[in-house]
Structure 1
Amino acid sequence: MTTTVTGPGPRWLGDVGQLALAGLLALVVLPVGWTSVVEGEVARPWQVALLAALLALHAAVATARRWPLPSYAVGAVAELVLVAGPDLGGPTATAAGSDYGPVLLPSSMCFFVLLYAVSAWAPRPWPTAALAGGLVGCLLTVVRLWGFAGAALEGWTWWLMLGTATVGGTVAAWAPGQFRATRAAWVAQLAERGAADERRRIAREMHDVVAHSLAVVVSHAEAGRMVVAQSPDRAPEILETIAGTGREALTEMRGLLGVLRDDEVGTDPQPGLADIPALVGRMRAAGLAVEYDDAPLPPVPPGVGLTAYRVVQEALTNVARHARPGAVATVRVERAADGLRVSVADDGGASPVPTAPGRGLTGMRERVEAVGGTLEAGPAATGWQVSARMPV
């Protein structure tokens, strides 16, 4: 799929600039060409055709930004008329030393503007086709002016100078347009990549928050059906845990989605290492046995702390969902010489390695790699283990 590359800023601003360029060229070079044709001592039909070609070239410059391909086509036809036209006489021919072809009129430079427009704003493969057309025009121009006697140079020197000027001008007009188109495409690709990364980040956050919270809520709801029938006095405790988990999930999602609003003044802080003990407490309240040494840890960068929290959260959620009843999870978070180490293991015979990693495992790995760390997950001696190392 191909798309037209547009310039930065409002479209109308670029159109105004293009009209200003067209007006400047018409003011500077069109009067010279018009006078040369009118006084050129050519047949009336050719005079009309040459004047129409000059007007078409300048009009095409005015529309080149908005309609590059049609403008280029009009300019190419106009250039062919100038190449095919008879030699011009009159006062300008006397000043030049002999009659000369209309293609030497200053308005021919407008073709370079049209070539740049196609190269910069037209979709592929039109820039390459426009360059090929321009090079063919160079050949026709050299053939047309082969015997021009008004030049100070003669023989092969004149031919070399003419060929170099036409080919060099064509390439010099085409190359900046391609550079601009390539740069615009590169900037657009960076923006798309940044947007895709942000979507993946939000998806990971939403998955972690929703999956963890629902796992706790579902486990309490299922346990509540059996417990409340035998111990009605425990119903408030179970309902409070469900309500607290729901409130926490809403708070995290509000803080996460707040970054999507331009008018958001502030968002709730994201969890970190200091919130892991509370996370462990909620999992214990949900019925999962968790061993954890909650000794205080040195501060780490917020991104690393959030990643460590999410790894522990996702790993414990997986234990609650996949391990056998009564499984014990062991959480270790420690500061080592090579960075922060996070390990979550269980003895519950968690399900084997899936053939295709789920969103949770993929999200954990992406999180850890985003802060420059590594993550390993797989079967352990008696269950399942997740280990992450992150530089700090």
Structure 2
Amino acid sequence: MTVPPAPGPRWLGDAGQITLAAGLALVLLPVGWSSVADGEVALGWEVALLGALIALHAAVATARRRPRPSFVVGAVAELVMVAAPDLSGPTAAAAGSDYGPLLLPSGLCFFVLLYAVSAREPRPWPGVALGIGLVGCLLAVVRLWRFDGTGLEGWTWWLMVATATVAATVAAWALGRFQATRAAWTDQLADRAAADERQRIAREMHDVVAHSLAVVVSHAEAGRMVVAQQPERAGDILDTISTTGREALTEMRGLLGVLGGDRESPTTPQPGLSDLDDLVERMRGAGLQVSYAGAEPGPVAPALGLTAYRVVQEALTNVTRHAGAGAAATVTVTRTDRQLEVDVHDDGVAGQSLQSPSGRGLRGMRERVAAVGGSLEAGPDGDGWRVHAMMPL
């Protein structure tokens, strides 16, 4: 699992991590520093303990970018505090007894470092860090076993220390794992949304290109035969070809603008039920015999209208490509209170052998219809091919 290299809220960034480290140092470090300086320990141990305190706070500052090395530094610093002798001096006198350096407030930085590793490092490092933390809990309990400055003795003190250290360690680790899981889940949602958008744009590109090229090719082939006999029709044929090409280019520019993240890319309204008449007329102009029976007028959701339009567009395009010369098609769009039905039927015998339910166009139609909660059937029907879609309103 890939995880982002930063503990803590993402909006804070590196500056937030440094601010956190500075805040902890401002609150915790002066107490620990004065306690060690007045702790009446050997000079070597005093230097080692002061270095350990500085290392703990410095590790917090680097935990965002380098959680694993920062954790190692913090663990070594905690080990120094475990091995050091008890501190005496004014603080010990106020507490009523000498105390182990593990009780210095800066030791809390270790839990921040444990969280950083569990939140940002891949497996197995979170588990390794938890194991090191639990071993540290055991060492802390053993180290502080004889502490009796609070008046609590024996197993009572041992139970309190053990419970507090283990609970804090597990809580820091669990919080980090929760953050890692949440980040991975969010990334998966983003990847899935991006994949769905790419798939949607691929369907749009297929429908636009396949339909437009089918119309252009049909007019070009017809024009080659017709113009020689009826030159006056050349202008109409060329106008249809140029209009279809311009419309396809406009739609493709909009789709490519979405792919490129260009928010200023020009867009045109998506077609819907009201545009089916124009679609049928274009197909008639391309030489296809097609009759159309429209639905009752009334508003529908834009996504539903676009889906119905694309189903008819793809079905008629397949008729021109696969159904053979002279094939005729019938388009029927009916609407009830609960659903919208689209039916496209052709009488081309060749369509039974040339069309395939697993083709990209038919697969795209099924995906479109399923996206709006409907169902689509496509296959041979009598002497031709039938596409039938039902979509809830």
Same fold (TM over 0.5): yes
Cross-structure match for 2:306: 306
Cα 1:167–1:330 shift into 2, 3 Å: same
Deviation at 1:9, TM superposition (A): 5.3
CA–CA separation in structure 1 for the residues paired with 2:46 and 2:246: 84
Letter in 2 for 1:304: L
Deviation at 1:115, TM superposition (A): 1.3
Deviation at 1:305, TM superposition (A): 0.9
Secondary structure, aligned partner of 1:271: coil
Cα 1:170–1:275 shift into 2, 3 Å: same
CA–CA separation in structure 1 for the residues paired with 2:251 and 2:91: 80
Q: How does 1:296-335 map to 2 (within 5 A)?
A: 297-335=297-335
Letter in 2 for 1:225: R
Cross-structure match for 1:371: 372
Cα 1:83–1:354 shift into 2, 3 Å: farther
CA–CA separation in structure 2 for the residues paired with 1:258 and 1:131: 48
Decide which moves more: 362-371 or 306-315.
Answer: 362-371
* Partners of 2:3 and 2:180 within 8 A in 1: no
Cα 1:301–1:25 shift into 2, 3 Å: closer
Deviation at 1:375, TM superposition (A): 1.0
TM-score if structure 2 supplies the norm length?
A: 0.91
* Partners of 2:357 and 2:363 within 8 A in 1: no
Cross-structure match for 2:248: 249
Alignment deviations for residues 43-90 of structure 1 (CA, whole Å, 9 cap, x no partner): 222222122111111111121122211111100110111111222233
Secondary structure, aligned partner of 2:325: coil
Decide which moves more: 148-157 or 205-214.
Answer: 148-157
CA–CA separation in structure 2 for the residues paired with 1:87 and 1:273: 84
* Partners of 2:296 and 2:335 within 8 A in 1: no
Secondary structure, aligned partner of 2:334: strand
Cα 1:61–1:351 shift into 2, 3 Å: same
Cα 1:353–1:41 shift into 2, 3 Å: farther
Cross-structure match for 1:173: 172
* Partners of 1:255 and 1:270 within 8 A in 2: no
Alignment deviations for residues 344-391 of structure 1 (CA, whole Å, 9 cap, x no partner): 111113144877722211211111111111111112121211111111
Q: How does 1:44-193 map to 2 (within 5 A)?
A: 44-193=43-192
Deviation at 1:258, TM superposition (A): 5.3
CA–CA separation in structure 1 for the residues paired with 2:126 and 2:67: 10
Decide which moves more: 297-306 or 178-187.
Answer: 178-187
Secondary structure, aligned partner of 1:29: helix
CA–CA separation in structure 1 for the residues paired with 2:199 and 2:269: 20
Cross-structure match for 1:198: 197
* Partners of 2:294 and 2:334 within 8 A in 1: no
CA–CA separation in structure 2 for the residues paired with 1:295 and 1:31: 80
Decide which moves more: 178-187 or 319-328.
Answer: 178-187
Give the number of equivalent residue pairs: 389
CA–CA separation in structure 2 for the residues paired with 1:87 and 1:198: 63
Letter in 2 for 1:391: P
Q: How does 1:223-262 map to 2 (within 5 A)?
A: 223-257=222-256, 260-262=261-263
Alignment deviations for residues 187-209 of structure 1 (CA, whole Å, 9 cap, x no partner): 22222222222221111111111
Alignment deviations for residues 86-110 of structure 1 (CA, whole Å, 9 cap, x no partner): 2223333333333322112111111
* Partners of 1:5 and 1:123 within 8 A in 2: no
Deviation at 1:316, TM superposition (A): 0.5
CA–CA separation in structure 2 for the residues paired with 1:134 and 1:82: 14
Cross-structure match for 2:271: 271
Cross-structure match for 2:41: 42
Aligned residues: percent identity? 70
CA–CA separation in structure 1 for the residues paired with 2:57 and 2:304: 61
CA–CA separation in structure 1 for the residues paired with 2:77 and 2:220: 80
CA–CA separation in structure 1 for the residues paired with 2:297 and 2:374: 19
* Partners of 1:209 and 1:253 within 8 A in 2: yes
TM-score if structure 1 supplies the norm length?
A: 0.92
CA–CA separation in structure 2 for the residues paired with 1:299 and 1:160: 71
Cross-structure match for 1:14: 13
Decide which moves more: 162-171 or 175-184.
Answer: 175-184
Decide which moves more: 53-62 or 99-108.
Answer: 99-108
Secondary structure, aligned partner of 1:217: helix
CA–CA separation in structure 1 for the residues paired with 2:271 and 2:332: 17
CA–CA separation in structure 2 for the residues paired with 1:219 and 1:385: 22
* Partners of 1:297 and 1:334 within 8 A in 2: no
CA–CA separation in structure 2 for the residues paired with 1:352 and 1:96: 93
Alignment deviations for residues 195-226 of structure 1 (CA, whole Å, 9 cap, x no partner): 22222111111111111000111122222223
* Partners of 1:341 and 1:390 within 8 A in 2: yes
CA–CA separation in structure 1 for the residues paired with 2:171 and 2:246: 64
